[in-house]
Amino acid sequence: MIKTVDLKKTFTGRGQTVYAVDGVTANVEPGEVVVIIGPSGSGKSTFLRCLNGLETLTSGHIVIDGVDLADRKTDLNKVRREVGMVFQQFNLFPHKKVIENIVLAQMTVRKRDRAEAEEKARMLLEKVGIAEKEQEYPSRLSGGQQQRVAIARALAMDPKIMLFDEPTSSLDPEMVGEVLDVMKDLAREGMTMVVVTHEMGFAREVADRVLFMDQGKLVEEGTPEHFFTEPREERTKLFLKQVL
């Protein structure tokens, strides 16, 4: 479903070159839930953002569903339709009501008519458990509710892959659960998911595979059992000791 080959992303500023992602080769099978963990600044968010072209890659390849993002002829907008993304800061459109947030891209990108788009939006709001908020503006919702709307908005495009960039990191602790529950439901339904998170409980329970990144490199990968009980690398052991 997703394959990256020697993916590199560098940022240059003030004469310095920073390797945010430094030669990551990984792949994600259809229906798989992959959780990426690692210390802050390890390049895991940048890696995730490369996967739907929000960051242009410096070198290497990303192949999504058979389409190479490194190819200049690739229409990124087409790829992005199939890859949903949920952000740490929700990024709901504040000037539009909840339902409009979900309807807009369906109409402009997928060319659905309003009735169809609204029906889909209501169905998804029901699914994420906030059907009653459809006429509210995002600013009236709690963080957890906003994040669930954001998930519904991404799902409305019928993506084949969902990317989550620290979806619970800016939530109050009591709201983390409601968002994780929605994500668990999605995983159970067989959605292909790549999740950057600090929620070790989620990784252990839901992930099919865990990738550990540090300093832009993929340090270790494996099943959650392997990863949390018998990690091979020193760096992984140290990280797990700090967070668990």
List the one residue from 89, 135, 223, 229 that touches other proteins (CB under 8 A): 89
240 binds other proteins (CB under 8 A): no
Whose CA is closest to 224, among 243, 242, 244, 202?
A: 202
80 binds other proteins (CB under 8 A): yes
- 169 burial via Cβ count (<10 Å: 0-12, 13-18, 19+): middle
113/234 with CB nearer other proteins: 113
Decide: 141 and 173 in contact? Cβ < 8 Å: no
d(CA 47, CA 127) in angstroms, rounded, equals 29
Cα dist from 169 to 36, 81, 82, 105, 164, whole Å: 14, 25, 25, 26, 11
Using CB under 8 A, which of the segments 8-16, 78-86, 118-126, 189-197 binds other proteins?
Answer: 78-86
d(CA 18, CA 14) in angstroms, rounded, equals 11
40 binds other proteins (CB under 8 A): no
Decide: 220 and 232 in contact? Cβ < 8 Å: yes
- Positions of E strands within the chain: 2-13, 16-28, 33-37, 59-64, 67-68, 83-86, 161-165, 192-196, 209-214, 217-222
106/236 with CB nearer other proteins: 106
Q: Which two tokens stand for residue 85?
A: 């993304």
92 binds other proteins (CB under 8 A): yes
78 binds other proteins (CB under 8 A): yes
54 binds other proteins (CB under 8 A): yes
228 binds other proteins (CB under 8 A): no
Binding mask 153-172 for other proteins (x = CB under 8 A): xx--x---------------
25/108 with CB nearer other proteins: 108
Decide: 82 and 160 in contact? Cβ < 8 Å: yes
| Size of site (CB under 8 A) for other proteins | 31
102/210 with CB nearer other proteins: 102
Using CB under 8 A, which of the segments 9-17, 21-29, 105-113, 192-200 binds other proteins?
Answer: 105-113
List the one residue from 96, 127, 160, 204 that touches other proteins (CB under 8 A): 96
- Residue 147: phi and psi, rounded to 5, are -65, -35
40/77 with CB nearer other proteins: 77
Q: Which residues bind other proteins (CB under 8 A)?
A: 52-54, 77-78, 80-81, 83-85, 87, 89, 91-97, 104-105, 108-110, 137-139, 150, 153-154, 157
